[in-house]
Amino acid sequence: MVMTRGTRLGTYEILAPLGAGGMGEVYRAKDTRLGRDIALKVLPEAFARDAGRLARFEHEARTVAGLNHPNIVVLHSVEEDNGVRFLTMELVEGERLDRLLSHGGLPVSRVVDLGIALSDALVAAHERGVVHRDLKPANVMVTREGRVKVLDFGLAKLESSEPGLDATQAATRVTPLSTPGQVVGTVPYMAPEQVRGDAVDARTDLFALGIMLYELVAGHRPFYGATPADVSSAILRDTPQPLANVRADLPADLDRIVGRCLQKEPRARFQTALELCHELRRLKQTGESVTPSPPAGRDDIRSLAVLPLDNVSRDRAQEYFADGMTEALISELARLKALRVISRTSAMKYKGVQKALPEIARELSVDAILEGSALLVGKRVRVTVQLVSARTDEMLWADRYDGEIEDVLDLQSRIAATVAKEIAVQVTPHEVTHLAKRRPVNPEAHVEYLKGRHTAAAASPQAIELSLRHFQRALELDPKHAPAWAGIAYCHIARAGRGMAPAAEANAQARAAAMQALELDDSVAQAYAALGTVAVWEMDLKGAIRYLERAIDMDPGSTGAYVALGRLYYCSERHREAQEAMLRALSLDPLSMLIHTSVGDAYYYAREYERSLVYYRKAVELDPRFDGAHTDLARSLEALGRFEEARGEYEEGRRVSGGIAGPSFGLAHLEARSGNEAAARRILQELIDARTHRVVSSWGIAALHASLHDVDEAFRWLDVAVEEHATGLIFLRVHPRLDPIRQDLRYQSLLRRLGLDAA
């Protein structure tokens, strides 16, 4: 049905046609009641006669109505007049983005700003379960004031609600617009899965946004051909020309970000629009044109993963040595500030995995892979390494190193220095000095240290205790082994945080061990990170920042320091900074269960519960044996009122916890929240009674009393927590479970007493 100027639909007068959307004709119209111009979208008559299509139209309207975001067009109403169904929307005046494209590309700062706005709009949509499916420059308006507005969610469909899929990754329902099996979208901006007709999800939109960013930078699309079929083939087959070859003024990180969006496999892209948005914001904050990308070739390596070295002895008892050498090389290379090095946890996921190196590089979003083998025979060490380009699968360099185990640190430094030279990465004078320093070790002590690091990676209470014994044995053999002292500090911090030991006692032991490490070697980043973590728990927030920033300065790959700094930020209500710190840690360690949990925490304490679920679920997927991931996931489900799902996760957390109290606390909070006060009080009493024979947090008991609205008892137990230096006190300012007592005058008094009121 074509509308002419002057046609009336209800209280609206048609003024002019604007174009065709995914579900009908769009017109400029005047709302005669309010005296404003709006966009009016009419459902075609053929659709109106089809009950299924009509239902989809109304479904679309409800979906769009739920998207309240400054970068998404606003839906005003859904109406009908004389059998004509239509909706009214915000009228956006300005220029379509495709008309703003220039042959040589837009300024970098403008591209980054547009990318931030578009990705932020997708965050809002994806969190409501909406995938656009037809994101392209023609569907984006830039207003006269410069604001970005995403149009035409008419092709979006709500994602399926299959259990186990998070809100940003679930596949969409496959409901064709007209004929069964019809592919929806615009070919040049389609993701490979769209071209193939496979199920799509939020990551499909990220591919489309990657194409748009590429086009905005280069002035042309990354995939092209004479016909739509040719373009489709290019999307499925071709690797785009690196942006660094197109423009010399680009920051290396923008090239990397766009490249990750354009990965063929969805799992190799950013997994959420939120991750992409944070990366672009970080790029903006650090200055868009400070670090130009190098020309393509060997010199463009700015990120690297060290794969687990092969244990060529085939003796499983020597796995600790190959793994220890892997970790040592990661640590050495991570000190180079100009190089992003994937952390140990993610790298070790590929131990024993048979995958092509380019595929691994895509999954980790790195430019190169370092792989090789390690062998320890008596006191003789042999390490072979080779550097492989991620893009070409070409071996760039290989070498073999032989030496005595007492010179193993020198050997590690020589390998790192050679890698830096081979890839022409910038090395600062301080880094040169560190790499040149010769540091002999006691062979037997170093073996125990490697065993301690190898064991601690499991993160369970049993692993932490065994790791502690290895570090202690290393110090019996060599009291001056600084890294072993730092390892002991790490173990005591883990014991305090997991409720394995009284917090005050464990943190004091951690501080003493870290200080001893720094007396022996003031370059041990892990010791600074340990002191920063202890300072956080002890409310010395300024000291914590100082120590953690020092740790990051000494080791830019120190994910633990970023996590501790992020915790400090969200406990001070600096939520955006907290999320950025956690996501930085995740970019260095993308397969770490603990870091996914930490990112989830940053969103939980910002009360962005839906966003936290994405990271908690991924943590559970990465290691379902970790009780903390289950209980944290349950906590957010509980906050969202999804009590049965929460109960299942709390129960699973309790099953795998090894007897620590956290999951039981969670179940008690759930009972209180769901109205089963008697059950909550029964668990509370069991936990109080258990304090006579095991560690049960006084902070946890106080928080549970708060959930039960026992205000006086909550404050009495908070006083006990202060006396015991309970680690949970750092959350006093932000923990949602303290909401029932937050208006009490004693609450503000306690914040001031602990120095948290002005943090």
Same domain, 119 and 75: no
Answer yes or no: is pLDDT of 575 > 50.
yes
Average confidence (pLDDT) over 476-487: 91
What mean pLDDT do residues 54-68 have?
Answer: 70
What pLDDT is recorded for position 430?
A: 62
Does 148 reside within a domain? yes
Alpha-carbon gap, residue 215 to 206, rounded angstroms = 14
Task: Write down the pLDDT at residue 703.
Answer: 95
For residues 43-54, give the mean pLDDT.
69
pLDDT tens for residues 644-659? 999 999 999 888 887 7
What pairing do the DSSP bridges indicate for beta strands 24-31 and 8-9? Answer: unpaired
Could you give the 3-state DSSP secondary structure of residue 337?
Answer: coil
- HSE-up of 31 (CA within 13 Å, CB side)? 16
- Mean of pLDDT values over 407-430: 70
Distance CA 64, CA 408 (A): 61
| 374 and 424 share one domain | yes
In a domain, 595, yes or no: no
Per-residue model confidence (pLDDT) at position 688: 93
| 50 pLDDT more than 80 | no
Mean local confidence (pLDDT), 179-208: 77
Q: What average pLDDT does the structure give for the chain?
A: 82
In this prediction, residue 86 carries a pLDDT of 84
Please tell me which of 169-178, 376-385, 620-629 the model is most confident about, judged by mean pLDDT: 620-629
pLDDT at 758: 66
At 111 the pLDDT is 92
Average pLDDT for 708-730: 92
Q: Which of 30-39, 391-400, 401-410, 556-565 tops mean pLDDT?
A: 30-39
Q: Assess whether 282 and 141 both reside in one domain.
A: yes
Whichever domain contains 483, its CATH number is: 1.25.40.10
- pLDDT band at 125; cut points 50, 70, 90: confident
| Domain C-terminal end among 502, 530, 556 | 556
Q: Which of 242, 270, 295 delimits the end of a domain?
A: 295
Residue with tokens 């072979």: 384
Q: What is the mean pLDDT of residues 398-408?
A: 76
* Spatial distance between the Cα atoms of 460 and 130, rounded to a whole number of angstroms: 38
31-35, 391-395, 511-515: segment of lowest average pLDDT? 391-395
pLDDT at residue 594 tops 50: yes
Does residue 124 sit in the same domain as residue 151? Answer: yes
Same domain, yes or no, for 115 and 79? no
Cα–Cα distance for residue pair 228/230, rounded to 1 Å: 5
- Tell me the per-residue pLDDT of 684-696, one tens digit each, with 9 for 90 and over: 999 999 898 887 8
Active site residues: 134
- Each residue of 302-325: pLDDT tens digit? 788 888 888 877 777 677 778 878
Percent of the chain clearing pLDDT 70 (strictly above) = 87
256 vs 428, higher pLDDT: 256
Quick one: CA torsion of 491, 494, 498, 501, rounded to 10 degrees?
Answer: 50
Tokens standing for 740?
């029932």
Query: Same domain for 355 and 493?
Result: no
Q: What integer pLDDT is reported at residue 722 of this predicted model?
A: 92
Note the pLDDT of residue 159.
Answer: 35
- The pair of structure tokens assigned to 437 is 């320093």
**Residue 758: is it exposed, middle or buried by C-beta count within 10 angstroms (0-12/13-18/19+)?**
exposed
Kindly state whether residues 138 and 261 are assigned to the same domain.
yes
Mark whether 220 and 289 lie in a shared domain: yes
Q: What is the pLDDT of residue 748?
A: 93
Residues 105 and 65 in one domain: no
Farthest CA pair distance, the chain: 93
**Residue 431 covered by a domain:** yes
User: Would you place residue 168 in the very low, low, confident or very high pLDDT band (cuts 50, 70, 90)?
Assistant: very low
Look up the domain containing 57 and give its range. 8-89
Given a cut of 90, is residue 706 above it in pLDDT? yes
Angle at 718 between CA 712 and CA 722, to 5 degrees: 150
Give the H/E segment covering residue 171: none
Average pLDDT value for residue range 722-742? 91
575 assigned to some structural domain:
no
Token code pair at residue 426: 């910038």
Closest CA to 300 of 248, 363, 350, 346: 248
Do 111 and 35 lie in a common domain? no
- Mean pLDDT, rounded, for 389-400: 78
**Residue that has been written with the tokens 């106080």 in this structure:** 702
For 608-638, write each residue's pLDDT tens digit.
998 898 889 989 988 898 888 999 999 999 9
Question: 469 and 390 share a domain?
Answer: no
Total tally of structural domains belonging to the chain: 4
**Confidence at 296, pLDDT banded by 50, 70, 90:** very low
Q: What is the 3-state secondary structure (H, E, C) of 652-710?
A: HHHHHCCCCCHHHHHHHHHHHHCCCHHHHHHHHHHHHHHCCCCCCCHHHHHHHHHHCCC
Residue 300: band (very low, low, confident or very high) from pLDDT cuts 50, 70, 90: low
Per the domain annotation, does 393 fall within a domain? Answer: yes
Q: Do both 107 and 217 map to the same domain? A: yes
Residue 598 lies in a domain: no
**Last residue of a domain, which of 295, 314, 343?**
295
* CATH number assigned to the domain comprising residue 53: 3.30.200.20
Q: Residue 332 maps to which CATH number?
A: 3.40.50.10070
Pairing of the two strands 395-404 and 8-9: unpaired
The answer to the question of residue 715 being in a domain is no
* 196: in domain: yes
State the CATH number of the domain containing residue 242. Answer: 1.10.510.10
User: How much is the pLDDT for 166?
Assistant: 39
Which one is predicted more confidently, 352 or 280?
280
